Chain A
């Protein structure tokens, strides 16, 4: 057994959760454990490019009741890199359209010998509902605006890689906080690891009530920008909104888009993150998205490492 393998085994021994449903319920140590495991796996697989078949014989099912590109592919690839088999399910064209409930759909897929179910759903709590009704482990791959824990973890890993530590950093989440699952997972993760978090966006999307979680709330990006070490630019979730929370996209971009002028007023080493997909010209202009401060593609790479780590920890827990 190599030194690295020994490190993964001891990480798995320290992991106590059957499911990964959100970052709210994890401790700082547990989050750090995942990040450390992800870095270690990334190193061992040449940046996640080579196979390391340590989960051979396991089966992971992607249960995506809502559209996704990068998360679904990322989970599939992560499982394959570790030697696990994968099953893909998409809601469109499935028995759901024949009236089958999501629990029955999941139970049928589980009955095919699934160890881990990766679930995305538009309704908060649906992964929790499935976790309560299935024997296999459940990983939340995004439940409505509630949580997207692996996105939160990959954001943390990216920041930590770039800055060495999360503690003491000022991180602003900009945009559609109300409808963003990435925002919630980021808030829990960043707070637990010691960052100062600023939520910035229009008042209709950023309630002052968020302050009750110990974060700063601002509606003025230009005011908070000079203090920020990291900006995470969240997409406007038009598909979740029942009423338009601001007068026009043009006005939103004027007030909140990260552009050339704003980057010039930011700290020299500011990091620009975006969970994607990005709306170029709305939250971020192309020269910023593709510029030297942007770590958007590193986030995608780290997503693979984080998901490998989570699958490893959870599958090993199932054996205990």
Chain B
């Protein structure tokens, strides 16, 4: 029997409405209970001044393996995840080949087990080869362990295919996650279409491209009774469509990335491709709407859309550089610095959006410190001030727009299934499990 006692921490578990200083006991990889007195055989972690939460879950990550191992591998991506406090991540299927067969799902699960860092769940393709023409073998993919379906990287463009996906996935109670974008409106686009794109002469991607697709998806979900999860929402209009959809009972959930509630398109004035992502950084009213959507519950989850790209790919002309940034190692401090400290969200609200909410959307048995649950725990040092340094990142690619930013808070200890996988400041622990 192995046991870990986490003492004196402020335990915040939104799944049970707990927020108090207490101890948490882990026995044999499961949560054994709270308020436990120390015994001689316990391994003790002193969490005085720290926050103890269910292990963080990021339901939107690109691990690049198979196919683009020069950007990231499952080993390096999961090492970055635990350094960021994530005990579970959900990877997207736009790999090469795409995740549209049982074999590919199993390959990822195998590589994740070999890496031994954190749990990796798989979102598989909606369509075969991500071509948007025929449904992938959703039933078999569910059997292999797929927790949801998406052609992310690209939208499910064909409305008829989307309707069939909603209908079919309901048999397995799995959501469809869509990258909401009307491609005809964004072809050639590099950044948000607005005053800044106009001044810079860069082709823009209008907000309407996202709004129109979100509107379509909600109507199709309403018609079929299917579950739509709007990925990386970024516009004021789309957030309002989701808000109204929830009110009228559409089965819709959504997520937002830290860069969309922290940055705006003004950042592109630097012409730095580390600010190029899709959906693009939007205008200030959109950024503010993301914060408002988080506050009023319209936005359920905070995700990273961790999208690593090797330096040689990003160091190109802005139209040639790929979309996307890394985010696993900066998400938590950005949430603390830009949502919790300014008072937009309290700790419990923020933690819910990074634990129990994504777990519920994808049907994961995680995101809680309930007795008997798998012992995935993140201990957060909320006051630790530090500067984001790309060189310190564990992700294979370093394409972060937050280089040099002062932030507050970090993951201090990351525990996965009762095993300490990461301790801040201990370099090699993340590599030990590989």
A positions within 8 Å CB-CB of B: 24, 101-103, 121, 123-126, 128-129, 133, 143-147, 178-179, 181, 184, 207, 209-210, 212-213, 242
CB–CB A24/B315 < 8 A: no
Is the Cβ of A242 less than 8 Å from the Cβ of B188? yes
Beyond A124-B271, A242-B187, A242-B188, whether A207 also contacts B198 by CB under 8 A is yes
Q: List 22 A-B contacts (CB under 8 A).
A: A24-B199, A101-B312, A121-B317, A123-B317, A123-B318, A124-B200, A124-B201, A124-B202, A124-B318, A125-B317, A128-B270, A128-B271, A129-B271, A129-B315, A144-B201, A144-B202, A146-B200, A146-B201, A178-B198, A184-B201, A210-B198, A242-B187
Q: Is B246 an interface residue (CB 8 A)?
A: no
Chain B residues 203-218 with CB under 8 Å of chain A are: 203
Q: How far is the CB of B148 from chain A (nearest CB, A)?
A: 34
Query: Do B195 and A209 have beta carbons less than 8 Å apart?
Result: yes
Indicate if the CB atoms of B198 and A125 lie closer than 8 Å. Answer: no
Q: Which of B200, B201, B203, B316 contacts A101 (CB 8 A)?
A: B316
Q: Which residues of A contact B35 (CB under 8 A)?
A: none
In the bound complex, residues from chain A placing their C-beta under 8 Å from that of B315 are 101, 103, 129, 133
Instruction: Give Cα A184–Cα B201 distance, bound, in whole angstroms.
Output: 8
**Inside 8 A of A207's CB, which chain B residues have their CB?**
198
Kindly list the 3 A-B residue pairs having the minimum CB-CB distance in the complex, ordered from nearest.
Answer: A125-B271, A145-B201, A146-B201
Known: A125-B318, A212-B195. 5 other contacts (CB 8 A): A103-B316, A146-B202, A178-B198, A213-B199, A242-B203
Other-chain residue from B194, B195, B199, B320 in contact with A123 (beta carbon distance below 8 A): B320
A209 and B318: CB pair below 8 A?
A: no
Report the minimal beta-carbon distance from B277 to chain A, rounded to whole angstroms: 16
- The answer for the CA separation of A262 and B188 in the assembled complex, in Å, is 37
A86 to chain B, nearest CB (A): 24
CB distance from B208 to the nearest CB of A (A): 14
Decide if B341 is an interface residue (CB 8 Å cutoff): no
Chain A residues in 8 Å Cβ range of B195: 209, 212
Contact size range, B: 10 to 19
Say if the beta carbon of B28 comes within 8 Å of chain A: no
**Shortest CB distance A147–B (Å):** 8
Query: Does any Cβ of A come within 8 Å of B319's Cβ?
Result: yes
How far, in angstroms, from A116 to B184 measured CA to CA in the complex?
41
Taking CB atoms, residues of chain B closer than 8 Å to A125 are 200, 202, 271, 317-318
Residues from chain A with a CB closer than 8 A to the CB of B201 are 124, 143-147, 179, 181, 184
Chain A residues with CB under 8 Å of B319's CB are 123
Contact B202 A209 (CB under 8 A): no
Q: Is A209 in contact with B187, judged by CB distance below 8 angstroms? A: no
Q: With the chains together, A178 CA to B193 CA distance in Å?
A: 12
* CB atoms of B202 and A126 under 8 A apart: no
**Residues of A with C-beta under 8 A to B320:** 123
Tell me the bound Cα distance from A242 to B190 in angstroms: 14
Which residue from A143, A181, A209, A210 sits with its C-beta under 8 Å from B194?
A: A209
Annotate B161-196 by CB proximity to A: 1 below 8 A, 0 otherwise. 000000000000000000000000001100000110
Closest to B194 in A: A209
Q: How far is the CA of A19 from the CA of B201 in the complex (A)?
A: 20
B403 CB to nearest A CB, Å: 13
Question: C-beta contact mask, B274-314 vs A, less than 8 Å → 1, else 0?
Answer: 00000000000000000000000000000000000000100
Q: Which residues of A contact B199 (CB under 8 A)?
A: 24, 184, 213
| Cα–Cα distance between A130 and B271 once the two chains are bound (Å) | 11
Q: How far is the CA of A242 from the CA of B187 in the complex (A)?
A: 9
Residues on A with C-beta less than 8 A from B318 are: 123-126, 129
Determine how close the nearest CB of chain A comes to the CB of B279; give it in whole angstroms.
20
**Min distance, Cβ B118 to any Cβ of chain A, angstroms:** 35
- Most B Cβ at <10 Å: residue of A125, A133, A143, A179: A125
CA distance A178 to B203 in the complex (A): 10
In Å, the complex CA distance between A125 and B268 comes to 10
Selected from B194, B203, B317, the residue in CB contact (under 8 A) with A126 is B317
Q: Write the nearest CB–CB distance from A26 to chain B, whole angstroms.
A: 15
Task: Point out the residues of chain B lying under 8 angstroms from A145, CB to CB.
Answer: 201
Chain A residues, CB < 8 A from B316 = 101-103
> Please, which residue of chain A has its CB at the minimum distance from the CB of B191?
A124
Of all chain A residues, the one with the shortest Cβ separation from B320 is: A123
Query: Chain A contacts of B317 at CB under 8 A?
Result: 102, 121, 123, 125-126, 129
Nearest chain-A residue to B184 (Cβ)?
A243
Most buried by B among A103, A144, A179: A144
| Distance of A297 Cα from B199 Cα, bound (Å) | 28
Residue of B nearest to A178 (CB): B198
What string of 1s and 0s marks CB contacts (under 8 Å) between B42-72 and chain A?
0000000000000000000000000000000
CB of A263, distance to nearest CB on chain B (Å): 30
Cα A144 to Cα B320 with chains together (Å): 13
List the A residue with the shortest CB-CB distance to B187. A242
A99, chain B: closest CB distance, angstroms: 11
